[in-house]
Structure 1
Amino acid sequence: MSTVAATRLVATRELRVKLRDKTFLFSTVFFLLFAILSTVVPALIGSSASSVAVASGNPAEARLRDAGLKVRVADDPERLVRDGDVDAAVLPGPVVVAQEDAPGDVVRALSTEPEVRLLNPDAVNPIAAFLVPFAFALVFFFTSLTFGLQIAQSVTEEKQTRMVEILVAAVPVRALLAGKVLAGGVLALAQVALIAFVTVAGAQLTDGGGGLLPLLAPAMTWFVPFFVFGFVMLASLWAAVGALVNRQEDINGASTPIQLLVMLPFFLVAFLQDNETVMTVMSYVPFSAPTAMPARLFDGDAAAWEPFVSLAVLAVTAVAALLAGARLYEGGLLRTNGRVSWKTAWRDRELQRL
């Protein structure tokens, strides 16, 4: 069997196993529900127009209907408010009558907005300027940590059950590694794409979605290749971690360096995103580039050539990490006599049957 065919076979097997895994399905459903709750539900709640009563011939009636409000014409509009049949009533003046607080949409429909002239019309909303980089960092942090840990657990489980000895007899070791990384990457990217689709669709229902999405589109487009190379870089190292231990309980201890490489960029981007110097440096550091560079593109701080250079650095690092991870994976996969150190696995890459 060729390496390509073996890789495809392993990836297909991993995909079938994960698609039946309750943890993966639960996490996907959870984040989809979170995306819906954070976008669609507020839009639906906010889209409920107030009901307002007016007397026949009130000149405000046309303005209220044009604003999309539910208008009722009555002889005694104020009585409808007291009975709870409408949210508010508009009397001549105009005067808004309500039980406690006047609905904002009624007040806005009767108000005359002044002309607004912006000196910096392209400026990003401060809330969006914080949330979007944080979202990029959170997505990459969660997916790389979750799916990377699942890859390590899968490798360790195969070692613990001695299933790996059967697998390496049928397929090349590097094909086994490549298949696991490929399957994990496909599932992670599919999950992120699905969540992004639901979020964007929900944002279209909000008033601010139309203004934010055009600004977000370039950053989201660049986030995809950065995510792919960043995930491959980390997933290959996670697979190596799984090959170094023989028990699931030992994964956390062996994966401490990898966890730090995932966690530090997340916290730096989350808390230092206003520091232009730090963000610029981080956009060229491979382990933080997948979140820092898209964030800078969204803020408009990156030049047109910068994402190409940053992505090239990340791609070269991903290839190097994949080769290093393959060497460590080969050096520790068939060792079942205890935890293998990074140094030992690197030095002894020859497969052994113990």
Structure 2
Amino acid sequence: MNAHTPTAPSAAQSVWLVAEREIGSRLRSKTFIVSTVILFLIALAAVVWGGFSASQSNAITVAVTSDTSSAVTGVDGLEVTDADSTDAALALVEDGTVSAALIPSDQVPDAAAPASGPFDYTIVANDEVPSGLMPLLSQSPAVHLLDPSSTDFLLRYFVALGFGIVFLLAASTFGGTIAQSVVEEKQTRVVELLISAIPVRSLLAGKVLGNTILAMAQIVVLAAIAVIGLSVTGQDLVLTGLGGPVVWFAVFFLFGFILLASLFAAAGAMVSRQEDIGSTTAPITTLVMLPYFLVIFFNDNSLVLTIMSYVPFSAPVGMPLRLYLGEAMWWEPLVALVILIATCIAAIVLGARIYSGSLLRMGARVKLSEALSRR
């Protein structure tokens, strides 16, 4: 045998060659670079804006009665509303006119007995004590919550929005890119040259690997932006609560993206024209969009979030959010991750079968049954 005869690349080498090609083509794309920079700038602006908004000490609205008005006399940072009675003060709290009310301790609603202690008044609020109210008072009186809640609603909403948007943008952007790349290679017949040197499954694995690396790089940079932004703007408390959930989000996103990327590649292989991509990727796009809308509309629904955290397509959003809210037990993310990995493996096998059975078929859209039946 001639010593100079080139040897075929191994499976691992083939996968990495394709991955390098995917990464290189994306990094040479001005559209990709510009959109990525814009995404990072928007994320930085959002974090900084949120931090400075939170740092602005707006006056806390408080209702008092004639019996408790002396407790806020001379206290700065409060917007005091005088109520005619305890019932009137409570009504102001319930309808959101004020954030809290100071009422006599022996008139606390639904209290079994008057609150004991050095105070003759109690703070009453809807779901939580307004941030900054307690330090403004010389001492800490008893607290009675009408509707207890562990997390500030606005903060809860923005954390849910953040997880949902990042997952939606990264998965849909890179997933769509994979599908378009596959169709483009079919249209230009480049795929015929590629598979003459590289096995079909290695081609698929390389595409998934390359785009996964790029997607995870974006997630890491976004996480760094969040950490730096929260630190600079003095939101250490928020940062401490988000640390663990963000790490879990990255882990769940990794396997969730591989799952979706495999399906996007398979969907792209089923058509031969860019115009037809939507017909095969629509169901997958719906799966990507669903977690975003669910956390926006049901971020305060424990049942919906629990179901989301175990469904593979929504677990990357649902489980980290539940961890942030403190609603998940320590073992739940591990169980959800096992389910996600098992589903990911099944999706890779299914996607590879469809990809292999459709890649060289030109013309009309390949039916799913035909793609699965081809060897």
Q: Same fold (TM over 0.5)?
A: yes
**Structure 1 204/122 Cα, relative in aligned 2: closer, same or farther at 3 Å?**
farther
1:278 aligns to what? 304
1:310 aligns to what? 336
2:14 aligns to what? 6
**Structure 1 333/112 Cα, relative in aligned 2: closer, same or farther at 3 Å?**
closer
Amino acid at match of 2:15: T
My pick for the range that moved more, 17-26 or 115-124, is: 115-124
1:220 aligns to what? 246
* CA deviation profile, 1:302-350 (whole Å, cap 9, x unmatched): 00110000000000000100110000000000001221111111111x3
Residue in structure 1 matching 2:236, options 185, 205, 210: 210
1:136 aligns to what? 163
TM-superposed CA distance for 1:246, in Å, is: 0.5
Amino acid at match of 2:202: A
SS of corresponding position for 1:283: helix
Amino acid at match of 1:278: V
Q: Using the alignment, how far apart are the partners of 2:273 and 2:367 within structure 1?
A: 14
Pair 1:35-2:43 in alignment = yes
Residue in structure 1 matching 2:273, options 235, 243, 247: 247
Amino acid at match of 1:160: Q
2:316 aligns to what? 290
TM-superposed CA distance for 1:197, in Å, is: 0.7
1:201 aligns to what? 228
Q: Using the alignment, how far apart are the partners of 2:233 and 2:140 within structure 1?
A: 22
Residues 322 and 328 in structure 2, CA contact (< 8 A), matched pair in contact too: yes
Residues 271 and 363 in structure 2, CA contact (< 8 A), matched pair in contact too: no
SS of corresponding position for 1:155: helix
My pick for the range that moved more, 196-205 or 300-309, is: 196-205
* CA deviation profile, 1:140-175 (whole Å, cap 9, x unmatched): 111111100000000000000000000000101011
RMSD: 2.4
TM-superposed CA distance for 1:44, in Å, is: 7.1
Residues 256 and 312 in structure 2, CA contact (< 8 A), matched pair in contact too: yes
Residues 223 and 246 in structure 2, CA contact (< 8 A), matched pair in contact too: no
Q: Using the alignment, how far apart are the partners of 1:46 and 1:230 within structure 2?
A: 33
TM-score, normalisation: structure 2: 0.72
Residues 156 and 299 in structure 2, CA contact (< 8 A), matched pair in contact too: no
> Percent identity among equivalent residues?
46
Pair 1:152-2:189 in alignment = no
Residues 219 and 250 in structure 2, CA contact (< 8 A), matched pair in contact too: no
Q: Using the alignment, how far apart are the partners of 1:181 and 1:118 within structure 2?
A: 57
1:301 aligns to what? 327
Amino acid at match of 2:205: A
* Aligned ranges 1:107-126 → 2 under 5 Å: 114-116=138-140, 123-126=150-153
My pick for the range that moved more, 17-26 or 301-310, is: 17-26
Q: Which runs of 5+ in 2 are unaligned?
A: 1-8, 57-131
TM-score, normalisation: structure 1: 0.76
Amino acid at match of 2:272: N
Q: Using the alignment, how far apart are the partners of 1:15 and 1:342 within structure 2?
A: 29
Q: Using the alignment, how far apart are the partners of 1:42 and 1:218 within structure 2?
A: 20
2:359 aligns to what? 333
Q: Using the alignment, how far apart are the partners of 1:273 and 1:129 within structure 2?
A: 8
My pick for the range that moved more, 229-238 or 112-121, is: 112-121
* Aligned ranges 1:232-271 → 2 under 5 Å: 232-271=258-297
Aligned residues: 288
Q: Using the alignment, how far apart are the partners of 1:242 and 1:40 within structure 2?
A: 39
Q: Using the alignment, how far apart are the partners of 2:224 and 2:37 within structure 1?
A: 14
* CA deviation profile, 1:205-239 (whole Å, cap 9, x unmatched): 223x1111111111011111100000000000000
Residues 192 and 360 in structure 2, CA contact (< 8 A), matched pair in contact too: yes
**Structure 1 118/264 Cα, relative in aligned 2: closer, same or farther at 3 Å?**
farther
Q: Using the alignment, how far apart are the partners of 1:294 and 1:45 within structure 2?
A: 25
Q: Using the alignment, how far apart are the partners of 2:137 and 2:163 within structure 1?
A: 36
* CA deviation profile, 1:279-323 (whole Å, cap 9, x unmatched): 111111111111000000000000011000000000000010011
Q: Using the alignment, how far apart are the partners of 2:233 and 2:149 within structure 1?
A: 20
TM-superposed CA distance for 1:5, in Å, is: 0.7
Amino acid at match of 1:340: V
